[in-house]
Structure 1
């Protein structure tokens, strides 16, 4: 995560960022609303996996990630009681950028950062649910679509085009 004066950059999220993260989420994902409590929950459980993309005082995006279980999807808009004691997977809950930040390379930059973080934690895989046609982006970063019958019902709560994607880290 490089920082150049007056240039947009990624940094670790702080509690004071949560209101702007909620605003970005409402703009970027109007069909996938989540309560502010969900963002606070993920930040509280694994702050080292939450990031904001900013240009000065303006939040242009965020990424929320955390250790999790293989082949599992945390339900949308749900507060987690705890993270697993022995996670083998790292989960990308969301990467969201406002329109002005798209095409800047910011998404690819944070994906590389998150993959490095997951490796440092010793996770074997990294996964996510791709929506809004984003699977093409994720394929470019080494993720593959995985079809598993036990995920069909949860995926349907996202959207018709939602797909579970996984990348091996070893």
Structure 2
């Protein structure tokens, strides 16, 4: 499988990818550095040949409380009750090859082995249908609309039960 653990040496390349892929959702390099440092088991890169063509950032978090975009976490909370998918991002030339579905399976396997009963994410950039194919369902959370809107007009909270 072309997915491998992300290392601190990958972070500059991950930031370049993020800037190319998420034009409307920029994040500071510190966000990637912190996530890789506090939960390295949830950070992966996609390599094809010698090129980095995608990445995944995930970590335990509070259920129904997605972190704000471009924000540092300060650590994993003790009351983390969901395995949060911060981002799965692929360059356009990497899409359509099954890599995103591989990432979904890899992340779900890790979430289960870590003891989580569910995974959650905020779907952006018209990705809701993709996540639904992986078993995620839209979840309406009262009071979350303003935060979701900061991710984009089409952003929706989604949850996948793992039991």
Task: Please report the TM-score for the alignment, with normalisation by the length of structure 1.
Answer: 0.94
Would you say 1:32 and 2:25 are equivalent positions? yes
Q: 2:155 aligns to what? A: 162
Q: How does 1:1-170 map to 2 (within 5 A)?
A: 2=1, 9-170=2-163
Gaps of at least 5 residues in structure 2 are none
SS at match of 2:83: strand
- Give 1:56 shift: 3.0
SS at match of 2:55: strand
Contact map agreement 1:88 1:122 (CA 8 A) in 2:
no
Runs of 4+ in 1 over 2 A off after TM superposition: none
SS at match of 1:157: helix
Contact map agreement 1:21 1:62 (CA 8 A) in 2:
yes
- Give 1:157 shift: 0.6
- Give 1:150 shift: 2.1
- Counterparts in 2 of 1:86 and 1:148: CA distance versus 1, 3 Å: closer
Q: Please give the root-mean-square deviation of Cα atoms over the aligned residues, in Å.
A: 0.8
Contact map agreement 1:18 1:39 (CA 8 A) in 2:
yes
Distance (whole Å) between structure 1 residues aligned to residue 32 and residue 48 of structure 2: 21
SS at match of 1:27: helix
